[in-house]
Amino acid sequence: MNDIRYGLRLLARSRLFTAAVACTIALGIAAATTIFSVVNAVLLRPLPFRDPGRLMQIAEKNDRLHLPAFSTSALNYLSWKSQTRTFEQLGAIGFQSYTLSGTGDPETYAGGQLSASLLPVLGIGPILGRAFTADDERPGAAHVAVISESLWRRRFAADPGIAGRAATINGTACTIVGVVPRALTLLVNGDIWTPLVIDPPKEIRLNHVLLVVGRLKPLVTMRQAQAEMDAIAARVGAEYPEVRDWGIALITMTDTLVSSQLRTGLLVLLAGVGFLLVIVSANVANLLLARALDRRREMAVRAALGARPGRLLRQVLIESLLLSFIGGATGVLLAVWGVDVLQSSLPANTLPVLGIAIDRSVLLFSVGVTLLTGVAMSLWISAALSARL
């Protein structure tokens, strides 16, 4: 405690030096914390679905055409759904744009068709109203739709009575039956969704238009599910020769949402700020070492009064750790601002996340980086001073 108090007095006495060193450390910590907050949000934070590790994208593939993953046809989706035993349930998404009128000026929104089973597969439910039911996706059923949370807040002023409200979608009278949460937009970006109506006699098995998602049964591995889906693809191909060259590929939900290019780019950025911290630590350590050497008279007096070399080294190390913590705390504050600037400057849907935040994991990372920076500087200084004391 005496060393800490003495170190604080020394830092307060040389305010310009303290501010310069603390700001240098803060910039390095801020950069590392900001980039790690993005990496945490995209690669480490669990997806906002129930038990996301059991969610799979079920895609079609064609080795002859060099297509490792492709959209699914509606008829193949129905065949898979009726034959699978390793998946609890399958859900599907179609893609379409809609023009909404009857509730203000007409506007066009992205969206698509959702199977009634999709939200249960994902483990999410509507914020207001209800989701689609099996009756909604029958041919000839009444026209209904659900809207996104953002559209509900933006166009309907978060009206709590939105469920049951009439609207006109693509020129057809329709009833808005619910509001779905933001988590759905990770899979399909849009604001308006209608039921996925499949009329088998009117469908073509080679018309690949759907994104299919499935939830594995408990204790079923991805390898077991892939073996079953390979067998199903072989049976469907034998029954319908036009799709005999099409197989099935299972893809984890994380790999579906996070491309390999994005993953590599984020890891490269994280490595880059790691090297930046190494440079910051080396430069600050050299400044502290030069300052310590300028205090040789003070060190000599203290040694003459009985202070051992280890005692003198400890004082210098504590000063470097104090500077590191001051810089680290300032860096976290800068990172909070940096994350806000980053989110506001990125185009919409650039990252497959609902938001970036300085959460507990990011704070623990910042504390760890601060400690590591302080220890690295301390070791550098101690190695240089040990030969001089």
Q: How far apart are CA 354 and CA 320, in angstroms?
A: 39
Do 162 and 64 fall within a single domain? yes
Residues 246 and 317 in one domain: no
- pLDDT at position 299 is 64
Alpha carbon 382 to its chain centroid, in Å, reads 40
Between the two ends of the chain, the Cα-to-Cα distance in Å is 23
The mean pLDDT value for 17-39 works out to 89
Question: With 60 as the cut, is the pLDDT of residue 388 above it?
Answer: no
- Is there a single domain that holds both residue 218 and residue 329? no
Instruction: Identify the residue with better confidence: 105 or 195.
Output: 195
Residue 22 has a pLDDT of 86
* Residue 18 belongs to domain spanning: 2-47+259-385
Rounded percentage of the chain residues whose pLDDT exceeds 70: 92
CA 142 – CA 135 distance, rounded (Å) = 9
Is there a single domain that holds both residue 314 and residue 381? yes
Q: Inform me whether the pLDDT recorded for 211 exceeds 80.
A: yes
Is residue 153 pLDDT above 70, yes or no? yes
Report the DSSP beta bridge partners of residue 194.
113
Residue 237 to residue 378: CA distance in whole angstroms: 67
Binning pLDDT at 50, 70 and 90, where does residue 232 land?
very high
Residue type, 364: L
Q: Are 232 and 272 found together in one domain?
A: no
Spatial neighbors of 205 by CB under 8 A, at least 6 apart, are 73, 75, 76, 240, 242, 243
* Residues counted in the chain: 389
Q: Give the tokens for residue 73.
A: 């046809």
Q: Are residues 310 and 328 in the same domain?
A: yes
CB 67 within 8 A of CB 221: no
Same domain? 122 vs 251: yes
Residue with tokens 């998404």, as numbered in its chain: 93
Residue 179 is inside which H or E element, if any?
strand 172-180
Domain count within the chain: 2
Given 257, 286, 318, the domain boundary residue is 257
Q: pLDDT band at 386, cuts 50/70/90?
A: low
User: Is the pLDDT reported for residue 302 higher than 90?
Assistant: no
- What letter would DSSP give residue 185? G
The string of DSSP letters for 18-43 reads HHHHHHHHHHHHHHHHHHHHHHIIII
pLDDT digits (tens, 9 = 90+) for 78-93: 999 999 999 999 999 9
Are the CB atoms for 248 and 235 separated by under 8 Å?
Answer: no
Mean model confidence pLDDT for the chain: 88
Q: In this structure, are strands 247-252 and 55-62 parallel, antiparallel, or unpaired? A: antiparallel
Residues 265 and 181 placed together within one structural domain of the fold: no
Do 314 and 358 belong to one domain? yes
How many other CB atoms sit within 10 Å of the CB of residue 133? 13
pLDDT at 129 over 70: yes
Domain limit, last residue, from 233, 257, 281:
257
Last residue of a domain, one of 223, 257, 291: 257
- In the prediction, which pLDDT does 385 show? 60
Q: Write phi, then psi, for 223 (nearest 5 degrees).
A: -65, -40
- Mean pLDDT value of segment 107-126: 94
Coil, strand or helix: which one is 161? coil
Cβ within 8 Å of residue 362, ≥6 positions away: 33, 36, 37, 40, 335
Residue 14: DSSP 8-state: S
Structure tokens at 47: 């997806």
Which value, in Å, is the radius of gyration of the alpha carbons in the chain?
Answer: 30
Whether 110 and 99 have beta carbons less than 8 Å apart is answered as no
Residue 296 — pLDDT band, cuts 50, 70, 90?
low
Within this chain, do residues 317 and 215 fall inside the same structural domain, yes or no? no
Q: Are residues 188 and 263 both part of a single domain?
A: no
Tokens of 303: 């040694």
Same domain, 69 and 211: yes
Q: Which spans in the chain are helix H?
A: 2-13, 15-39, 74-83, 118-122, 149-155, 222-239, 253-257, 260-294, 296-304, 309-345, 360-385
